Amino acid sequence: MMKMTSRITMTMTTLRKKYIKLIKRIPPRHYWPIFVFLSLYFIVPMSEITVTLAAILYFKFEKRISPLVQRVTSRLPDWLRYGGSVLFFLVMIDDTLFYLAIIALAIWSGRQLQKDDDHATITE
């Protein structure tokens, strides 16, 4: 029993290290788009292909798409921009526990990245 527990602990430690190594490669500017694309899988019915394609195209052509999104959103008043974000988030919460787990994982991941400064930056 003791051997099995130490093996599980070692496996969890290894998985945690691999996870941290993976998220180090993601620049902070991609955090919000990743969250939006993951959320769209739960909002848009039968969206696997559409959302996956949109995510791939967004990250491939980010330099072209990002200014367009900023130009459109900069024209909106702040109350609509932030209110729309809150409303979008509330509509997404169809499975509260799942989203709480995602948020907890994001907070934990951020703290792990702060401990180790060797992670991707915007210039990379």
Rounded Cα–Cα distance for residues 2 and 32 (Å): 42
Of the listed ranges 6-10, 20-24, 120-124, the least confidently predicted one is 120-124
Q: For residue 33, what are the contacts with CB-CB under 8 A and spacing of at least 6?
A: 55, 58, 59
What Å distances lie between residue 83 and 79, 88, 100, CA to CA?
6, 8, 20
Tokens (6 digits) for 36: 């939006």
* The pLDDT of residue 62: 87
Sign of the CA dihedral 50, 39, 16, 12? negative
39, pLDDT greater than 70 = yes
Rounded Cα–Cα distance for residues 68 and 51 (Å): 19
Average pLDDT over residues 18-43: 80
